[in-house]
Amino acid sequence: MQLDAATQAFLDMLRSGGGKPLRELPIPEVRAAMRGLSQQACGPLPDVHRIVNRTIPAGTHEIGVRIYFPRSANGHALPIVLHYHGGGFVGGDLDSHDMPARYYSRHADAMVIAVDYRLAPEHRFPAAVDDSYAALLWAHKNAQDLGADPARIAVVGDSAGGNLSAVVSQMAKNRRGPRIAFQALVYPTTDFGDRPEYASREMFGGGDYFLSRADMDWFKAMYLTSEADAADPRASPAAARDLSDLPSALVVTAGFDPLHDEGKAYADRLAEADVPVEYRCFETTVHAFTSFGGAIPTGLEGLAFIAERLRKALHAGV
């Protein structure tokens, strides 16, 4: 298997720019670079019926959310998709991931609530986790006022957002919180532990395939406060001993991604715990490909696949 031509051209374009690795930039420049690349390469923005920006309570503070309405509900409650953006827990925001949020809203026919959780290193673990779970509680409590169905809630996220989607799903089960109907984990970070069985970390982590092992180590150092945090299931969902009774899941990986093996291993463990799970690897592309659908057509294919699975899970029997 080899990279598809569009992915290779995208990587060549990035290399030709001669920019410094993200880990060598000041934090504000890291965030600006992530946002700029995503907005440049995401492709056309799908139209949605309405978008509302607001703040919601999250413990002792407030966080921002962006709510996407695919259509007028006309008295028929919409399902909810909570969307957690990627960016290594350091970058990413509502603007960098506006395109996938729009896409899921329109093509899954769901109210998407994109969550602007706090970022590291200003707010280290478990700040992002606490905000993400608070958003779930808020969405469930306020669903009817929003015109949504509190019994049909899904979570979706890519990379760091995939981690948060998996963690929130575990927390909702363990805390007997709102029932989550479906979790879509897109090339998720599932394990901050240093495990030799994840061969993809070394195989694709040298810096030639967008995400490097050095980047991963830097994101980890920015997010966690100590090595002990890596064993906490709220940081590493793969560290949880019991994965039974979790929501039905979709796990998506990329073939040339250092995170490939841990994503596949998490899907396998869900299946072993009798959780209904579908696994799909997009073999010819790299990490973050769904953010770059304007440059990598496989990214749009991935978004369409994820949105279809969300729609199927949330509209079954309705």
Residue-wise pLDDT for 21-75, tens only, equals 889 999 999 999 999 999 999 999 999 999 999 999 999 999 999 999 999 877 7
CA atoms lying within 13 Å on the CB side of residue 122: 9
Q: Answer whether the bond into residue 233 is a cis peptide, omega within 30°.
A: no
* The one catalytic residue among 257, 260, 261, 291: 257
Is-catalytic flag, 287? yes
* The one catalytic residue among 132, 159, 169, 200: 159
Number of H helices, E strands in the chain: 9, 8
Report pLDDT digits (tens) over 262-318: 999 999 999 999 999 999 999 999 999 999 999 999 999 999 999 999 999 999 865
Mean per-residue pLDDT, 244-251: 98
Q: What is the pLDDT of residue 231?
A: 97
Mean per-residue pLDDT, 205-224: 97
Report pLDDT digits (tens) over 146-202: 999 999 999 999 999 999 999 999 999 999 999 999 999 999 999 999 988 999 999
Q: How far apart are CA 241 and CA 140, in angstroms?
A: 27
Q: What is the pLDDT of residue 72?
A: 85
* The one catalytic residue among 85, 97, 260, 287: 287
Is-catalytic flag, 257? yes
Asked if 222 contacts 195 with a C-beta cutoff of 8 angstroms, the reply is no
In the chain, the number of structural domains is: 1
Is-catalytic flag, 159? yes
Q: What is the pLDDT of residue 82?
A: 99
Structure tokens belonging to residue 40:
């440049």
Supply the range of the domain harboring residue 119: 5-315
- Can you tell me which residue has the tokens 């995208």? 10
Q: What is the pLDDT of residue 19?
A: 81
Q: What are phi and psi of 44, to 5 degrees?
A: -60, 145
Let me know the angle formed at the C-alpha of 22 by 83 and 205, rounded to the nearest 5 degrees. 85
Report the CATH number that the domain containing residue 41 is assigned in CATH: 3.40.50.1820
